[in-house]
Amino acid sequence: MEGDRRVGVAVDFSPCSTKALRWAVDNVVRDGDHLILVNVRPEGNYEEGEMQLWEATGSPLIPLSEFSDPVIMKKYGITPDPETLDILQCASRQKEIVVIMKIYWGDPREKICEAIDDIPLSSIVIGNRGLGKLKRVIMGSVSNYVVNNGTCPVTVVKHVDQEG
């Protein structure tokens, strides 16, 4: 991956992250780039040896062909939605980009910032759920934390909640 742009997108397969992914593909990703999806799973008690190792270091880099396979993704506890897979497969073909995923376990704020340095990423796109001020204070804003602590350019794609 040396010398190529590595554009990260934080994904959790919610409508908010799907919007951020679509925006990144339409506005940031160029032919020949590496598009790296960063997914953060909640911490848990994993009994398998691989999962315990990955909890500390993150998963190996997973190519698009593997995370399109439901049997393989079950091992990671992830079910990518069809819309996300469609966006990625189209982008992979049309823009001739390399699409890979890296999964981390823990606090999304810290792990996304960790991914920026570990991979390393040239930039990252992250969705914002459009929480109100009170919810943001109580729950904390992942996008706000990454903007303030990430070591690469961060683009936040706003997703306005339909409930108001």
Domain count, the chain: 1
Asked, for residue 43, whether it belongs to a domain, the answer is yes
Task: Quick: pLDDT tens for 12-55.
Answer: 998 989 999 999 999 999 999 999 999 998 876 555 555 666 77
Task: Quick: pLDDT tens for 116-141.
Answer: 999 999 999 999 876 656 555 554 58
pTM over 0.75: yes
Asked, for residue 102, whether it belongs to a domain, the answer is yes
Host domain of residue 24 = 6-158
Asked, for residue 103, whether it belongs to a domain, the answer is yes
Look up the CATH number of the domain holding residue 107: 3.40.50.620
Asked, for residue 112, whether it belongs to a domain, the answer is yes
Asked, for residue 143, whether it belongs to a domain, the answer is yes
SS3 of the chain: the string is: CCCCCEEEEECCCCHHHHHHHHHHHHHCCCCCCEEEEEEEECCCCCCCHHHHHHHHHCCCCEEHHHHCCHHHHHHHCCCCCHHHHHHHHHHHHHHCCEEEEEEEECCHHHHHHHHHHHCCCCEEEEEECCCCHHHHHHHCCHHHHHHHHCCCCEEEEECCCCCC
